[in-house]
Structure 1
Amino acid sequence: MDLVKWYGRGPGESYSDSKEAGRFGVYKKSVDGLFTPYIYPQENGNRTDVRWVSITDGAGIGLLAAGAPTLEFSARRYTDSD
């Protein structure tokens, strides 16, 4: 599963201290497209105030999560400890 679509703040990453810069909308990116390449390895790619997010394969098969009322998500190819 590589395709991510969400309704919430975007298109870039957002955290509680920077979320006001993100505009509400429906956005699509690949998992790799969610990555922010910081000079020093750190948490990155979070999205806040998300109403729903889907992560699917090319055929549209995958996972849908909905907030009550909102959620936060990150999707990446490695763990935080990596």
Structure 2
Amino acid sequence: MPLTDTELRNTLRAHTGRFGSPIALLHQTGEITEHTHGDLLKRAHDLDLDGRDHEADQLRDAAEYVLDAGCRPAVEGWAARP
């Protein structure tokens, strides 16, 4: 079952990293760039190496969301979307 926008934001909250990173942009504005998918998978891989498999799986689900949505600019009203 695909993630809702709220579930995606909740998943990303702990992984936003530096300001302006692709993951931070997705979390804050809903923007998806050509780098978002790769950054999510890299972070998931790092979590796997740390033994944080559940969080890694959640980020892989977020990466699937990104593939389904495709690249897009910031989404108006992103923070309020269900």
TM class by smaller structure = under 0.3
Q: TM-score by structure 2 length?
A: 0.27
Larger helix proportion of the pair:
2
Larger strand proportion of the pair:
1
Q: TM-score by structure 1 length?
A: 0.27
- Structure 1 or 2, whichever has the larger Rg, is 1
